[in-house]
Amino acid sequence: MPRIESGDNMKRKHIYLIAANAAALLFFLIMTIFFARLRDSLPDQQVASRWSADEPYSLVSIYSAGSSPMTLNDIFTARVNVEKKLVENSIAAEKENARVWTDAFSSAQELITVDAGTSTSEANLIVTGGDFSMFHPMDFIYGSFYNDDMVMNDNVVIDEVLAWRLYGSSNIVGKPVLINGKYYFVSGVFRQSENKNMEKVYGDKPRIFMPYSGYDIISPDRAAEFICYEACLPNAVSGFGKSILTEAMALEENTDMVMENSTRYSLKSRFGIIRNFGMRSVVDSPVYYQYWENAARITDDKAALLLVMQALGLALPICTDV
């Protein structure tokens, strides 16, 4: 004869189940909060919201293979093509001299020696162009980022570590540094990011940035070449910005070289990482990522893991009827 549970036992089990569901929902909420903090942790991925809080925009990045970097001519041609595509789609700035989109580009890092007269230090140099500081805001202790259109192209920005190694101080705006026999002047000193993921990929060498026009001074026989091109484009329809830039650069539609950063934390993207877990580490093309993209890829993996945790938190409440 089957055993019939007493009313007290059934009531007790029901209370336990309610408590378990409450704990599971609390776990889901905590994982959701962790995800929100992770998603907003890298300013380099937030340019679309900084550029326009009212209209939908997307951040699109192109990384070229190290063996075939982009030239200034490639970038300037892409700019013209983007403008044409926007005009064809009746997208224009409402105010005169206003910009409806913006871009930035950067070279692969290059190890150089920086000389301040009494001391020298090795540093990783990245050559930039466009609205780089908009895409990659820095925490300046002193000074500011150089302007891409400055008449004087002999300005550089350096991190705090390099400033201390060269001059024993971070307050060195205007001080000269010698690179490959040519003098440059420090326009800003920035603090390295305290973001844990960024710290992992920043490298053990200090960093220095200079405009592409300034690079020509120390390398007159070799023009600057670029591995990363980024654009913040109107995106009224999902995928529009990515499509515009893909066509402007004459790339294949499904190439891995083009990434729509603005959707990297979407449910679809996070499910994609889980589905291809393990294969994500396999790289079959010689593409070189900037350190900020490597930091973002770390957060991609963590976001996917948090999605698994969120799903586990919802599993019990969904599967039980309380």
Q: Which residues contact 243 (CB under 8 A, 6 or more apart)?
A: 253
On the CB side of 192, CA atoms within 13 Å amount to 20
Q: Which residue has the higher pLDDT, 16 or 104?
A: 104
pLDDT at 283: 61
Spell out the domain ranges in the chain: 1-39+264-272+289-322, 110-121+141-211
Confidence of residue 54 (pLDDT cuts 50, 70, 90): confident
Fill in the amino acid letter for 150. Answer: M
* pLDDT tens digits for range 168-218: 999 999 999 999 999 999 999 999 999 999 999 999 999 999 999 899 878
Mean pLDDT over residues 271-280, rounded? Answer: 82
Structure confidence at residue 266 (pLDDT): 93
What is the Cα–Cα distance from 257 to 285, expressed in whole angstroms?
10
Rounded to whole angstroms, the Cα distance separating 56 from 134 reads 17
User: b/e map of 263-291 (b: 16 or more CB within 10 Å)?
Assistant: bbbeeeebeebeeeeeeeeeeeeeeebbb
Please give the residue that has the higher pLDDT: either 251 or 183.
183
CA distance linking residue 57 with residue 240, whole number of Å: 9
Is it the case that residue 229 has pLDDT exceeding 70?
Answer: yes
The 10 Å Cβ neighbour count of residue 206 is 21
* Alpha helices in 203-250, H assignment, sequence order: 212-218, 240-248
Residue 319: per-residue pLDDT: 82
What is the reported pLDDT for 92? 83
Q: How far apart are CA 271 and CA 286, in angstroms?
A: 26
Structure tokens at 152: 């004087």
Secondary structure letter of residue 69 according to DSSP = P
Residue 322 pLDDT: 58
Handedness of CA 58, 300, 160, 107 (dihedral sign): negative
By percentage, how much of the chain surpasses pLDDT 90?
67
Q: Residues 67-122: pLDDT tens digits? A: 688 999 999 999 999 999 999 998 887 777 778 999 999 999 999 999 999 999 99
- The Cα–Cα gap between 61 and 104 comes to 10
Mean predicted lDDT score pLDDT of the chain? 89
Sequence-distant (≥ 6) Cβ neighbours of residue 242 within 8 angstroms: 58, 60, 258, 260
Q: What is the mean pLDDT of residues 123-145?
A: 96
Q: What integer is the mean pLDDT of 56-63?
A: 94
